[in-house]
Amino acid sequence: MPNNKLNDLDSKTWLKFQKSWFIHNPPPRKKGVLVHPAKFPETMAQDFIEFFTKKNQIVLDPMAGTGSTLIAALRAGRNSYGIELNPKYAEIAEQIIKDERSALGKQVKALKSRIINGDALKAVNYKLPTVDYVLTSPPYWDMLHAKGAETQKKRRTSADMDVFYSDDPKDLGNIHDYEKFLEMLVEIYAGLKPLLRERAYLTIIVKNIKKGGKIYPLAWDLARELSNVYTLKDEKLWLQDNQPLAPFGLGSAWVSNTFHHYCLQFRNDPEN
């Protein structure tokens, strides 16, 4: 496609990505990043980066964790910046990025990949360049504090794995009031608007939350609230079909096994 203004893909790859759902079962996590309790896969992040940017453009993740987005950007030939509140995760991300750059060699020598140990609420203060794409995934409220989750039980028995992100009061995963959590999350993403190039995209990977026997529609609430700041263009469902089923509510009540996430696509249109 000689007039392709969005990315470097051929028409066949473009059409494949436009399907509203996809199955992605990530490869096993490397030992160095197992400490982080909620990491999304570089392999999936790379697909999004390659669709919404061209080579050498700039990608930002304001909640970078251990650097999945930055690693994916390197592999895709893009510059990248990440903001991470937890100094431990920022340090892990820096080392992983260093190792990845060494493995990729000369092909990424001219690319920038920078982790900032800071607060995403202050993103505009970090002297970042204009960004061509934002790809991120927020904390799923305070669900890492839920003692009953099977994965959390396993993490509690390991000295090498964090159960939740941090004890920092600025950490959104420590806000227990849902409306306050949502308000802070919207403030962070809305605050990125001055950094984002006009008509550039923002993708948020998120899911609705079950807590105390009810659903908190985090994905839908985010879509509604951020539509006042950006244009909500679409949703794409990430399906995981390799998860074991659990008999929640068997014989008494409907409780689903939830193995999907929403990939919300926003665009920074001038009319917003």
What pLDDT digit, counting tens, does each position of 208-247 carry? 998 888 899 999 999 999 999 999 999 999 998 888 999 9
For residues 40-63, average pLDDT? 95
Give all domains of the chain, ordered by start, each with its CATH number.
Answer: 11-267 (3.40.50.150)
Closest CA to 67 of 47, 50, 84: 84
Per-residue pLDDT band for 27 (boundaries 50, 70, 90) equals confident
SS3 content of the chain, % helix, strand, coil (to 5): 35, 20, 45
- The rounded percent of the chain whose pLDDT value lies above 90 is 68
Q: What is the pLDDT of residue 144?
A: 61
| Whole-number Å distance between alpha carbons of 200 and 269 | 8
Instruction: Kindly give, in sequence order, each residue whose CB lies less than 8 Å from that of residue 110, ignoring residues fewer than 6 positions away.
Output: none
Residue 241, number of CB atoms within 10 A of its CB: 9
Is the separation of the CB atoms in 238 and 261 below 8 Å? yes
> What is the three-class DSSP state of 102?
helix
Instruction: Kindly give, in sequence order, each residue whose CB lies less than 8 Å from that of residue 9, ignoring residues fewer than 6 positions away.
Output: 1, 17, 50, 51
Span 2-19, pLDDT tens digits: 789 999 999 999 999 999
38 vs 81, residue with greater confidence: 81
Is the separation of the CB atoms in 271 and 253 below 8 Å? no
State the pTM of this model. Answer: 0.87
Closest CA to 121 of 193, 65, 192: 192
Instruction: Kindly give, in sequence order, each residue whose CB lies less than 8 Å from that of residue 245, ignoring residues fewer than 6 positions away.
Output: 257
| Whole-number Å distance between alpha carbons of 123 and 189 | 10
What's the length of the chain?
Answer: 272
| Whole-number Å distance between alpha carbons of 113 and 135 | 14
Highest mean pLDDT among 53-57, 241-245, 246-250, 254-258: 53-57
222, amino acid identity: L
Span 170-201, pLDDT tens digits: 778 788 889 999 999 999 999 999 999 999 99
State which H helix or E strand residue 236 sits in. strand 231-239
Q: Mean pLDDT across the chain, nearest whole number?
A: 87
Under DSSP, the state recorded for 38 is S
Under DSSP, the state recorded for 111 is -
Where is average pLDDT lowest: 40-44, 180-184, 203-207, 229-233?
40-44
Helices assigned H by DSSP within 149-250: 150-156, 178-190, 218-226
Q: What is the pLDDT of residue 243?
A: 87
